[in-house]
Amino acid sequence: MRVPFEWLKEFVDVKAAPTEVGHKLTMIGLEVEAIEHVDDDYIFEVNVTPNRPDCLSIIGIARELSAAYRIPLKFPKHDVLSDPGELDFNVDILDVPLCHRYAGRVVKSLKIAPSPEWLKNRLDKCGIRSINNIVDVTNYVLLEFGHPLHAFDLNTIKGHRLRVGTPNTVKGNGAKIKFETLDGIMREVPPDSLLIWDAKRPIAIAGIMGGLETEVSDTTKDIFIESAYFDPMSVRRTSKALGLKTESSYRFERETDIKVLKKALDRAAFLMKQVAGGTIYGKIDLYPKSFAPVRINIKYDDINDLLGLKLKKKEIHACLDGLGLDIKEAADHMVISPPAFRKDIKGKADIVEEIARMYGYDRITPELPKATIGMEWQGSEIKNDQARIKKNIRESLLKLGYSEAVNFSFMGLHELDLLGIAENDNRRSLLQVKNPLKAEDSFMRSTLVPSLLKNLLHNISHGNKEIELFEMARVFINEMPNSLPTEKDYLAAVYYREKNGSLYRDDTLDFYNVKGAVEAIFNDLKIYDYSFVRSSEPFLHPGQSSDIFLMDNKIGYIGAISPAIIDVLDIKANKPTVIALELDIDSIMPYTLQIVKYMPLPKYPFIERDTAVILDHSLEASNIIKWLKSYPSDLIEDIHIFDVYQGKNIPQGKKSIAFNIRYRTATRTLKDDEIDTLHSSVVEYILDKTNGKLRQ
């Protein structure tokens, strides 16, 4: 918007230089993009944001300067004396929801002529072409007050009557109206568009443009000046449908001031008498839907808390003075009602914003925000630990070559069906989204794996042959329908390698690569009491999967996606293997970052013994480890299983498990016969627990 500096100074007696005024406007939210020197004046190019239609006028900008500089605002002369004679003219508002107020004046015996130079110059500086003195006045008042007006040739209005309504109301539902606008184009008007009608026909498109048949011409003697408030949505809808944008529609779409329209009407009549003579007659003012201001209660302490300041009551009131707000003061708060021209002020945050910009954003000391990652637990210490643990997990996977994925927190029932999740599984307790982005994503995620499988398919379809992805996000379990859902932080990962010819042979199963990643995560988090047990997850390969336990609690799973699901996913590769991992991060939190106790290097050598036992094939190797660790001896330093075998020389339904035990003490050198006796006892203990026998 182009704003002449000299015009501004008619309403606010600012002494500052134009450059300083431009900077001040910018600092209070009205960005001055350029200042142009024209003749003896300066023109500000002001970028007005869509929420501030009150500043689409010279008076609106002047009001802002008045508040910023604490200088009184002066209004232009607009009081008129009208002829006391009876006004033979009627107006009816047929569609009140689309027209909340309609006012007008009749002015007779005007002399249409070119505008005086001062009027032409003002319009020219603002980028508006001069037409004649009457039309120019309507444009002048539009710029001055920000309220659109329209002048009709009174003698072309049939029946001394105006009606404000849609074709649906006036002609009946679905009525099609063709109408020639001032630009000489015949337009078909939608049946729900608001029009101005005389007794027989439409004569203007409300809030957008008048009709050619009622325009003010050189032969016009008498006029009717329209000043109204039209519904913003209605004006925008009609403007879009017709592809017709005007200065008038631009302002009506953003909401004009329903109260100032009477002043704008009187100001226009005042100027018309000044530049064209004539007699001003009475005023019509229909106001069926009056303005009701909102009431905002705000505490002084809340203002300071939000701004990070320590303003006193007096300072707060000084910031709000001059903005036209109705302020009622109480002991610890204010009750504020914004005026009709400030529709953007609707709540506490808007009041705080007004105080901040008038106090000066440049006077508020900048401070880095305190950002929190994840849930806010009971104390900052726990919260910091959680952030550190997540960071450790992320860094562990990134070091191993994994890439992080970020997905929407939504899923569909079909994804659980694909994985074969049982009906009684906790992951079926889904939280439904009231307004989903799409029907197939109608629930909050209870597992992260389906999203990563989608990422995997997307990458494979784009030719990627080595894929390692992970995601850390929250899952939602709606365990109790009438209460808030349980929210947990989870980690999930997928691993894929296309099997192609290679210069070297790597026989390591993909499963063990991902298992190694899990062990690396646990090692970084100082977690040691974990174990892997054969998994019961329905979507994992039974021979290449395991559940992950920490102490006696299941915290996740790892395994190859079953071939049946791979077929459904339709991965085009030679014997594709996809490994999936999911961990409950919240469940491992209490066991992470344990205190590390350093011990001196052992002075005395260890003794190792290897043993193989034959036992039932259904017995898990993890149970062997658990039983060995429970044996009551301080000499056992380390235990690990190095072989599991089924086949030749092993009975049907049996398997061989070979384990290694390392013995050592920190006080002396152990003797072989001592360890032989102890190891024999350990083996008997295991044979008794497993009901097995030694493999010869």
Backbone φ and ψ for 370, nearest 5 degrees, come out as -95, 105
Q: Is the pLDDT of residue 375 over 70?
A: no
* Residue 366 within any structural domain of the chain: no
Q: Give 542-581 pLDDT, tens digit per residue.
A: 888 999 998 888 999 999 999 999 989 888 777 788 999 9
* Residue 597 within any structural domain of the chain: no
Residue 377: predicted pLDDT: 44
Position 372 confidence tier, pLDDT thresholds 50, 70, 90 = low
Mean pLDDT of the chain: 91
Q: Average pLDDT of 517-526?
A: 89
Residue 502: predicted pLDDT: 56
Tell me, yes or no, whether 226 and 323 share the same domain.
Answer: no
Residue 594: predicted pLDDT: 66
Residue 378: predicted pLDDT: 45
Please report, for residues 90, 91, 211, 266, 481, the alpha-carbon distance to residue 160 in angstroms, rounded to integers and kept in the order given: 7, 9, 17, 21, 66
What's the predicted TM-score (pTM) here?
Answer: 0.59
Please state which of the ranges 113-117, 291-295, 497-501, 586-590 shows the lowest mean pLDDT.
497-501
Q: Domain holding 482: CATH number? A: 3.30.930.10
Tell me, yes or no, whether 355 and 270 share the same domain.
Answer: no
Position 536 confidence tier, pLDDT thresholds 50, 70, 90 = confident
Q: Domain holding 151: CATH number? A: 3.50.40.10
Tell me, yes or no, whether 314 and 407 share the same domain.
Answer: no
The Cβ of residue 565 has, within 10 Å, a number of other Cβ atoms equal to 19
Q: Is the pLDDT of residue 407 over 80?
A: yes
> Which of 334, 361, 388 is a domain's end point?
361
Q: Is the pLDDT of residue 504 over 60?
A: no
Residue 379: predicted pLDDT: 46
Q: Average pLDDT of 320-337?
A: 93
Residue 326: predicted pLDDT: 95
* Residue 602 within any structural domain of the chain: no
Question: Closest Cα to residue 194, out of 183, 212, 182, 179?
Answer: 179
Tell me, yes or no, whether 52 and 97 share the same domain.
Answer: no
What is the Cα–Cα distance from 641 to 167, expressed in whole angstroms?
87
- What is the enclosing helix (H) or strand (E) of 107? strand 99-108
**Highest-confidence range of 333-342, 374-383, 586-595, 642-651, by mean pLDDT?**
333-342
* Residue 75 within any structural domain of the chain: no
The letter for the amino acid at 406 is V
> Which of 286, 307, 337 is a domain's end point?
286
Q: Is the pLDDT of residue 373 over 60?
A: no
Which residues make beta-bridge pairs with 689?
A: none
What is the Cα–Cα distance from 436 to 410, expressed in whole angstroms?
9
Residue 144: predicted pLDDT: 97
Please state which of the ranges 70-74, 158-162, 229-233, 621-625 shows the lowest mean pLDDT.
621-625
| Those residues with Cβ within 8 angstroms of residue 347's Cβ, 6 or more apart along the chain or in another chain | 296
Residue 571: predicted pLDDT: 83
Q: Is the pLDDT of residue 231 over 60?
A: yes
Tell me, yes or no, whether 390 and 274 share the same domain.
Answer: no
Q: Domain holding 658: CATH number? A: 3.30.70.380
Residue 142: predicted pLDDT: 97
Tell me, yes or no, whether 306 and 280 share the same domain.
Answer: no
Residue 500: predicted pLDDT: 65
* Residue 82 within any structural domain of the chain: no
What is the Cα–Cα distance from 125 to 635, expressed in whole angstroms?
97
* Residue 372 within any structural domain of the chain: no
Q: Is the pLDDT of residue 380 over 60?
A: no
Backbone φ and ψ for 382, nearest 5 degrees, come out as -65, -40
Tell me the DSSP string of 536-563: --TTEEEEEEEEEEETTEEEEEEEEEPH
Tell me, yes or no, whether 309 and 267 share the same domain.
Answer: no
Please state which of the ranges 107-116, 380-389, 475-484, 635-644 shows the lowest mean pLDDT.
380-389
* Residue 367 within any structural domain of the chain: no
Give me the number of domains the chain comprises: 5
Residue 507: predicted pLDDT: 61
Q: Are 140 and 123 in contact (CB under 8 A)?
A: yes
Q: Is the pLDDT of residue 79 over 90?
A: no
Q: Which contacts (CB < 8 Å, 24+ apart) does range 461-467 have? A: 465/497, 465/498, 465/500, 466/496, 466/497, 466/498, 467/494, 467/495, 467/496, 467/497
Question: Closest Cα to residue 270, out of 167, 140, 143, 91?
Answer: 140
Q: Domain holding 46: CATH number? A: 3.30.56.10
Q: Average pLDDT of 250-272?
A: 95
Position 81 confidence tier, pLDDT thresholds 50, 70, 90 = confident
Please state which of the ranges 108-112, 512-516, 591-595, 687-691 shows the lowest mean pLDDT.
591-595
Q: Is the pLDDT of residue 486 over 60?
A: yes
What is the Cα–Cα distance from 305 to 527, expressed in whole angstroms?
42
Q: Tell whether the torsion through CA atoms of 616, 620, 625 and 629 is positive or negative.
A: negative
Better-scored residue on pLDDT, 572 or 108: 108
Q: Are 27 and 362 in contact (CB under 8 A)?
A: yes
Q: Is the pLDDT of residue 625 over 70?
A: yes
Q: Average pLDDT of 53-77?
A: 95
* Residue 519 within any structural domain of the chain: yes
Token pair, residue 355, equals 């105080």
What is the Cα–Cα distance from 216 to 112, expressed in whole angstroms?
9
Tell me, yes or no, whether 570 and 626 share the same domain.
Answer: no
**Highest-confidence range of 22-31, 86-95, 365-374, by mean pLDDT?**
22-31
Tell me, yes or no, whether 459 and 527 share the same domain.
Answer: yes
What is the Cα–Cα distance from 132 to 116, expressed in whole angstroms?
9
Q: Is the pLDDT of residue 36 over 50?
A: yes
Residue 619: predicted pLDDT: 87
Please report, for residues 342, 430, 434, 693, 694, the alpha-carbon distance to residue 580 in angstroms, rounded to integers and kept in the order given: 56, 22, 30, 36, 37
Residue 376: predicted pLDDT: 47
Q: Give 116-141 pLDDT, tens digit per residue.
A: 999 999 999 999 999 999 999 999 99
Q: Is the pLDDT of residue 499 over 90?
A: no
Tell me the H-state helices in 405-546: 413-419, 449-461, 510-524
Tell me, yes or no, whether 629 and 504 share the same domain.
Answer: no
Tell me, yes or no, whether 267 and 329 share the same domain.
Answer: no
Tell me, yes or no, whether 427 and 335 share the same domain.
Answer: no
Question: Closest Cα to residue 75, out of 58, 52, 92?
Answer: 58
What is the Cα–Cα distance from 522 to 591, expressed in whole angstroms?
10
Which residues make beta-bridge pairs with 530?
A: 550
Question: Closest Cα to residue 356, out of 296, 307, 297?
Answer: 307
Q: Cα angle at 102 between 96 and 108, to 5 degrees?
A: 150
% of the chain residues with pLDDT over 70: 96
Q: Are 408 and 454 in contact (CB under 8 A)?
A: no
Residue 471: predicted pLDDT: 96
What is the Cα–Cα distance from 191 to 629, expressed in whole angstroms?
85
Q: Is the pLDDT of residue 523 over 90?
A: no
Residue 696: predicted pLDDT: 79
Structural domain containing residue 38? 2-69
> Which of 591, 617, 650 is a domain's end point?
591
Question: Closest Cα to residue 355, out of 288, 405, 420, 306?
Answer: 306
Q: Average pLDDT of 357-364?
A: 91
